[in-house]
Amino acid sequence: MDDRRDHPSRRRDREAPDGPAAAEPAAAEAAGGEAAGGGSVPDGHDDLDVLLDELVRVREELELARSELAAAEDRALRARAELENLRRRQQGELERARQQGQDGALRSVLTVHDDLERALTAADQSDDPATIVPGVEAVLAGLLRQLEALGLEPTGAVGEPFDANLHEAIMAVPPAQAGQAGTIHEVYEVGFVQGERLVRPARVVVYQEA
209 in the same domain as 144: no
Q: How many domains does the chain fold into?
A: 2
> pLDDT of 82-91, one tens digit each?
999 998 988 8
Give the residue from 150, 167, 189 where a domain finishes.
150
Looking at the predicted structure, is the pLDDT value of residue 31 above 50? no
User: The domain that contains 178 carries what CATH number?
Assistant: 2.30.22.10
Average model confidence (pLDDT) across the chain: 78
Residues 156 and 145 in one domain: no
The whole domain housing 205 covers: 152-210
Tell me the average pLDDT across 61-88.
Answer: 92
In a domain? residue 30: no
Q: What is the pLDDT of residue 186?
A: 93
Whether residue 73 is found in the same domain as residue 166: no
Give the pLDDT of residue 118: 80
What is the per-residue DSSP string for the chain? --GGGG-HHHHHHHHSPPHHHHHHHHHHHHHHHHHHTT-SPPHHHHHHHHHHHHHHHHHHHHHHHHHHHHHHHHHHHHHHHHHHHHHHHHHHHHHHHHHHHHHHHHHHHHHHHHHHHHHHHHHHT-S-GGGGHHHHHHHHHHHHHHHHHTTEEEE--TTPBP-TTTEEEEEEE--SSTT-TTBEEEEEE-EEEETTEEEEPEEEEEE---
Lowest mean per-residue pLDDT among 97-106, 113-122, 201-210: 97-106
Residues 174 and 92 in one domain: no
Task: Choose the weakest-confidence range: 9-18, 80-89, 183-192.
Answer: 9-18
pTM above 0.95, yes or no: no
Domain closes at, from 129, 150, 171: 150
Question: Is residue 143 located within the same domain as residue 156?
Answer: no
In this prediction, residue 184 carries a pLDDT of 95
Predicted local distance difference test score (pLDDT) of residue 23: 47
Is a pLDDT exceeding 50 seen at residue 67? Answer: yes
